[in-house]
Amino acid sequence: MIGTAALAGLSAACPVRAQTGMHQRLLCLDTHLDTPASLARPGWEMMKRHSRDQDLTQVDYPRMVEGGLDGGFFAIYTPQGPLDAAGMLAARDAAFLRAMEIRELVAAHPGQFELAFVAEDAARIAASGKRIVYQSIENASPLGDDVSLLRVFYRLGVRMVGFIHFKNNQFGDSATDKPQWNGLSPKGRELAALGNDLGMVLDASHASDDVFDQMMELSRAPIILSHSGCRAVHNHPRNIDDDRIKKLAAKGGTIQINSYNAYLIDVPPNPERDKTVAALRQKLRPSPNQTAAEAEAARRELVKGMNEIDARYPEPRATFDMYMSHVTHALDLVGPDHVGVGCDWDGGGGVTGMEDVTSIPKITERLVKLGYTESQLSNFWGGNALRVLKTAHEARKI
Ligand SMILES: [Zn+2]
């Protein structure tokens, strides 16, 4: 939110500035922010400007302001662990702690952030100059055997529920695992029904095609793909085919395009690299018992180690143009009322030419060049996700 009057003055003289001005005027939401993961890092400060080169992060308050990102869905992400009693308890505790960290962020910076619960909150919060914090769940595994725990997450403010992550869980099949339930499990069907009853948005990103189909069939409200790409552009199971995108749109839903490298282009398997990255991350994983200085030293070592791994096991990297080819494919297919942005920042997103949230005005700039109007871009950048949220809320029964 920078002075629009100042920008308007510049606009007349400079068309690029005019587009930047439009981008800053638009209410921009990203429907999948993994930034809450940064909040658990001792000493990491949301209000300070960081850089991907320094600590691999992609979103903080100063960079949100610079990139014109008004907010989005902050994900309570839990990695898929073992589905035994101990694993489920650990997942439950991790998710509640993450939810607490999101609330602590907002409580600590009431002038900069505000929790949002219904679609109407977004414009009001943006108008007050604050960032909009909706919450989502990525991976419902923390609910364990007790679907009713979703009510507690709802009370905490969660309004979108992604059922599954990289692996199958008790609720259904993952796009990146072998079919086990042939879609949703019986508990997954219960979860869809309760999500609907509460007025939460059902999120099919990471879920298998069968789960998508069954969710579409079961849900009273439109559903969302909070961070997914187009399979017609790049054939990867995490992306979705044209027929399904059309069905999603016909029901009023939206696909929010992901910028996760391995879903945008072919990345040949490199088990040696994966093993080395996993070992490094395991060795340097943040711990709440670290001092800020220890955490900072670990971050530096992680960045250095990742640079060494990139040099030793190079990996092809998608470009901004490749990202935009997923965006424009979806736009050509279903139009600007059913496409948006879910870049997966701080969760593996980012491409050459769009490395962090400061680069998102480039998306607007490109779409303006392609002829999209400000009102179409307003839907693309936030209106579509908010419409899905509103429709889900209106279809609630509890
Ligand atoms: Zn994800």
One-letter-per-residue 3-state SS of the chain? CCCHHHHHHHHCCCHHHHHHHHHHHCCCEEEEECCHHHHCCCCCCCCCCCCHHHHCCCCCHHHHHHHCCCEEEEEEECCCCCCCHHHHHHHHHHHHHHHHHHHHHHHHCCCCEEECCCCCHHHHHHHCCCEEEEEEEECCHHHCCCCCHHHHHHHCCEEEEECCCCCCECCECECCCCCCCCCECHHHHHHHHHHHHHCCEEECCCECHHHHHHHHHHCCCCCEEEEECECCCCCCCCCECHHHHHHHHHCCCEEEECCEHHHHCCCCCCHHHHHHHHHHHHHCCCCCCCCHHHHHHHHHHHHHHHHHHHHHCCCCCCEHHHHHHHHHHHHHHHCCCCEEECCCECCCECEECECCHHHCHHHHHHHHHCCCCHHHHHHHHHHHHHHHHHHHHHCCCC
**Is the model more confident about 12 or about 28?**
28
pLDDT at 18: 57
CA dist 327 → 32, 312, 354, 373, 397 (Å): 16, 32, 14, 16, 34
Distance from residue 259's CA to the centre of ligand 1 (Å): 11
Distance from residue 260's CA to the centre of ligand 1 (Å): 9
Please, which pLDDT band fits residue 250 given cuts at 50, 70 and 90?
Answer: very high
Residue 380 has pLDDT above 80, yes or no: yes
Distance from residue 9's CA to the centre of ligand 1 (Å): 40
Distance from residue 255's CA to the centre of ligand 1 (Å): 14
Please, which pLDDT band fits residue 143 given cuts at 50, 70 and 90?
Answer: very high
Residue 7 has pLDDT above 50, yes or no: no
Q: Phi then psi for 366, rounded to 5 degrees?
A: -65, -40
Please, which pLDDT band fits residue 17 given cuts at 50, 70 and 90?
Answer: low
Distance between CA atoms of 90 and 257, rounded to whole angstroms?
Answer: 31
pLDDT at 8: 43
Q: Work out the average pLDDT over 283-305.
A: 87
pLDDT at 1: 46
The rounded percent of the chain whose pLDDT value lies above 70 is 95
pLDDT at 19: 61
Distance from residue 74's CA to the centre of ligand 1 (Å): 12
Residue 339 has pLDDT above 50, yes or no: yes
Distance from residue 5's CA to the centre of ligand 1 (Å): 38
Distance from residue 205's CA to the centre of ligand 1 (Å): 7
Could you tell me which of 299, 303, 304 has the C-alpha nearest to residue 41?
299
Distance from residue 169's CA to the centre of ligand 1 (Å): 15
Least confident of 104-113, 135-144, 296-305: 296-305
Distance from residue 57's CA to the centre of ligand 1 (Å): 16
Distance from residue 350's CA to the centre of ligand 1 (Å): 13
- pLDDT one-digit tens code per residue, 69-79: 999 999 999 99
Least confident of 15-24, 105-114, 200-209, 303-312: 15-24
Residue 270 has pLDDT above 90, yes or no: yes
Distance from residue 124's CA to the centre of ligand 1 (Å): 28
Mean pLDDT of the chain, nearest integer:
94
pLDDT at 28: 98
Distance from residue 238's CA to the centre of ligand 1 (Å): 9
**Which residues lie closer than 8 Å to 181 by C-beta, 6 or more apart?**
168, 172, 173, 188
Distance from residue 109's CA to the centre of ligand 1 (Å): 27
Distance from residue 162's CA to the centre of ligand 1 (Å): 9
Distance from residue 37's CA to the centre of ligand 1 (Å): 13
Distance from residue 164's CA to the centre of ligand 1 (Å): 9
Distance from residue 165's CA to the centre of ligand 1 (Å): 7
Distance from residue 206's CA to the centre of ligand 1 (Å): 7
Residue 21 has pLDDT above 50, yes or no: yes
Could you tell me which of 259, 230, 209 has the C-alpha nearest to residue 334?
230
Could you tell me which of 126, 74, 130, 59 has the C-alpha nearest to residue 360?
59
Residue 179 has pLDDT above 60, yes or no: yes
Under 8 Å between Cβ of 207 and 248: no
pLDDT at 25: 95
Distance from residue 34's CA to the centre of ligand 1 (Å): 8
pLDDT at 4: 45
Amino acid at residue number 278: A
Distance from residue 315's CA to the centre of ligand 1 (Å): 20
Distance between CA atoms of 193 and 216, rounded to whole angstroms?
Answer: 12
Distance from residue 141's CA to the centre of ligand 1 (Å): 14
Least confident of 40-49, 174-183, 212-221: 40-49
Distance between CA atoms of 139 and 161, rounded to whole angstroms?
Answer: 8
Distance from residue 367's CA to the centre of ligand 1 (Å): 25
Distance from residue 347's CA to the centre of ligand 1 (Å): 7
Under 8 Å between Cβ of 164 and 187: no
Distance from residue 224's CA to the centre of ligand 1 (Å): 13
Record the tokens describing residue 175, joined without a space. 């796009």
Distance from residue 65's CA to the centre of ligand 1 (Å): 24
pLDDT at 40: 86
Residue 10 has pLDDT above 70, yes or no: no
Distance from residue 155's CA to the centre of ligand 1 (Å): 23
Distance from residue 343's CA to the centre of ligand 1 (Å): 10
Q: Work out the average pLDDT over 307-322.
A: 95
